[in-house]
Amino acid sequence: MKVTINDVAKLAGVSMKTVSRVINNEPSVRKKTHDIVMAAVNELNYQPNLAARNLAGTSSYAIGLVYDNPNAYYVIDMQNGVLSHCRKEGYELVIHPCSYADSTMQEELKTMIKRSRIAGLVLTPPLSEQQALIDMLDEMGMHYVRILSGRGDSEQTSPCIYVNDYAAAYEITSHLISLGHRNIAFICGDQGHKSTTERLAGYEQALQDHSIKVREELIYRGDYSFESGVNGAKALLKEGNRLDISAVMGGNDEIAAGALFAARLMDMAIPDELSITGFEDSPFSKQTWPKLTTAHQDNDVISQHAARLLFSKTRGARNQDKEIIRTFTPSLVMRDSSGPLS
């Protein structure tokens, strides 16, 4: 039997009008009442009629998650984090993949926003890094929160979640140096992603701080894919370099898994002859043998915070959040793919 708004009102001990005000996120409702009603909504698994809500007024009850990332694990984590907060607020989630390099991307997003009556957007890299897109959203008066690779910006005035890829890459490089490695290669991801430049900068700074020269020939510029890891490792570990390079850092776990695969094809023992590290701690890092040393990145937690910041800015949101910037730093996870220089 379908649960009705009357059922929610009876369980919560309030009027149907109060339930409606809570579901519509009216800010005048006391927090205690809001929590009691939402507890009843969750207990009964009540699903408001969103179509009726949208037809009844001008309010929107959907937010969008916009991404351009081929990594399905990343997308799923981001989706789950945002979705968990949408459910708390009684909103729907519209998931919209697009290509940042497509010349029609802005018009595509503008159409989606209007068609789906989006109240706000969570923007993931590299879309979150496109200034032309941000300018368009500002002109539209659209609420948004950006997830960015960076070390934070005290002058930032729009809500942002920063991921400190620089610090994490610095820590991974320092870990390899502590194991005795000095000839450390780096396989980059896509050049259009700021995470690529931040991770490369962290790697280079760690080398310099340990008085190790940055060698351009040990840097392979690829993309965030398994195939790029294979190709990069083959190029870097060719016969002339084989006795020189003792460690390879992958720009992400897919790259590192590809590098490990290529190294095995060359009959190199991991980590006895070559240490390999990844980045992000995706399932790829646990599916290789040996498992990858990497940097753990809480994508679901990051996206939850992004959604929370977004709801604090959209119309009718409760408990306005004064914090508009949050920084997360991925943490080193040591596994068996990295070992001391023999």
Range of the domain at 98: 59-163+298-328
Least confident of 46-55, 194-203, 299-308: 46-55
Q: How many CB atoms lie within 10 A of CB 100?
A: 19
pLDDT at position 48: 64
Least confident of 12-21, 79-88, 320-329: 320-329
Give a yes or no: residue 29 inside a domain: yes
Statement to judge: residues 73 and 87 lie in one domain: yes
Give a yes or no: residue 135 inside a domain: yes
When the pLDDT of each residue in the chain is averaged and rounded to a whole number, the result is 88
The total domain count for the chain is: 3
**150: CATH:** 3.40.50.2300
Statement to judge: residues 121 and 18 lie in one domain: no
Q: What is the mean pLDDT of residues 171-190?
A: 97
Q: What is the mean pLDDT of residues 153-171?
A: 87
Give a yes or no: residue 338 inside a domain: no
Interior angle at CA 185, CA 180 and CA 188, nearest 5: 140
Interior angle at CA 279, CA 278 and CA 281, nearest 5: 100
Least confident of 73-87, 223-237, 267-281: 73-87
DSSP, residue by residue, 18-56: HHHHHHTT-TTS-HHHHHHHHHHHHHHT----HHHHHHH
Give a yes or no: residue 192 inside a domain: yes
Statement to judge: residues 174 and 256 lie in one domain: yes
